[in-house]
Structure 1
Amino acid sequence: MPAGAPSLPKEEIRLVSPWTSPAAAPGTGRLGDLTVNRIGFGAMRLTGTVPFGGVPRDRQTSIGVLRRVVELGVNHIDTASFYFSATRSANELINRALAPYPEDLVIATKVWPGRDPSGAWWWAAPEQLRGQVEENLRQLGRDHLDVVNLRVPPSRHSGSIAEHFGALAELRDAGLVRHLGVSHVTAAHLAEARAIAPVVCVQNPYGIGASDEDEALLRRCGELGIAFVPFFAIAGSGREAGPGAPDGEAVHAVARAHGVSVAQVRLAWTLHRGPHVLAIPGTGDPEHLAQNVAAGGLRLTQEEVDLLSSCAPAAERPRRMPRTA
């Protein structure tokens, strides 16, 4: 097993003080009435070397990474029942590694997309969302979910989400879900959802090179007191799940000035976009985990933030899910 990913018995998981927690370096944020450190963890890459597939990761390494996540003070984990490879399920790894869960641990998941056992994608009808919520509950070993995001399909980018969000709000009223969020949405979607039930977070692709529309939605969330949770922030806007065009000289220059990686600069810049921004960088590698958490302590100058913010918006994002719903 790689160094930094010990396979510890559950009773030996060590919790760090919030005063010394590396994940607390950039401060805390809120998901409704839940307080979390602003550096969180995304579970998508726990199951394989590429999202939703690739070579399955070693089970004990993934369990060790999750336990190290908690040791570093991370108390916000993002996951989904459709995060699985041929032999690994992110939710079940989380359950195995961390249950019984620390009292301050917040687990966020998402519904609407689904995958059958072959890995093929499908999109739930409103009446099927309860089954997806219950699947997450079963896999995680929970009696309720802290936060559930409604992940909107690309085909609904300009359509209504009211029927699906209303169905999810009913599950919140039934006690299966504590808080609701929305993911991959527009400002219009956010307004539509807020008219139905409180929204505690928006989870959208965002990073250096974000569009004016992305920036406006981030600001709007800040005005409303809603957490903005960017995903693929390290990959950068327009490069959702991995490398794309080479990083610009501005990013490399800032990285050299601080003696850190380009990925750490990208993550730090995202956290500098506002105190309501919560990062969820994902990895299955113990060394990358340590680097991601350390990025929370990287302090950029205002000049550096402005330089990185001036990077040209990227091209349209590649699609990782089917358009149809």
Structure 2
Amino acid sequence: MMTSEYDFLKKFLKSRSGLVLSDEKQYLVESRLMPVARRHNLNGLSELILAISKPGSMMLQSDVVEAMTTNESFFFRDKSPFENFRKVMLPHLLEARKSRRSARIWCAAASTGQEPYSLSMYLKEDKAKVGGFRFEILGTDISNEVLEKARTGIYSQFEVQRGLPIQMLLKYFSQQGELWQMAPEIRAMVQWRKLNLLENFSHLGEFDIIFCRNVLIYFDQQTKIDVLNRIYRQLPDDGFLVLGAAETVVGLTDSFEPYPDLRGVYRKKQAASRPAGSTNRPERPSAKPSTSRSSIQALAGGSRF
């Protein structure tokens, strides 16, 4: 691949997905995009690069972006975010939202679905505590391929062995040959939607918890700042933002601060002085005023316990 061709691909991928590639990643580009070129009957990467620069190549452009997207995920990944959800975030919501008895959770860059399904299983496990509450869980990703897998809830033996307790495997999955499928009642708790974090997502409405883990690390600093500032507007004053273990808001925005004693969890700085469980707007609808409640429910579903 010529230097000019690689430079074009780097600019293309950054503009379309936020992915920033260093010069030494050329081998990775070649290994991931050659199958895409063959699938589209193109003779190598030079023809592929020429093709994506032409009008009417949206399908090929999408395939290129999906091929370069890292889709690493597994159940209860890093453990602590899910323990924090169960021990701190969930009790807070049950108290702070007890009048409206509903809460919304967004898993951004959810890949093949293990993160939102992990949250769903915990909610099922805590059914006695959350009785009568409606939880809307939305999983989004830029890749159609991983979203389709997430919807089916079908995983390999290797995938269910990564982080998933055996008790939950037996309780919430059914075996289909060498594969395992998530139980229908767990799959029904999550709605899926294709979404590019570089684009406007204000139409999704307000969320009480936003998981945006292990995706900012692929963006440059300005893109990280932009995404975090827009996430800020999607959270209520007492909402939670959960980032990956290698991610931080430090040096990017003053709008968030670390939640005390919760690694990787952040809150709005303006909410820091209020007692736990309090909020200036407890009864505010979960969607923005311009988005109807019925449209939000159609988008994000919801399970009542």
What is the TM-score with the length of structure 1 in the denominator?
Answer: 0.29
Q: Larger helix proportion, structure 1 or 2?
A: 2
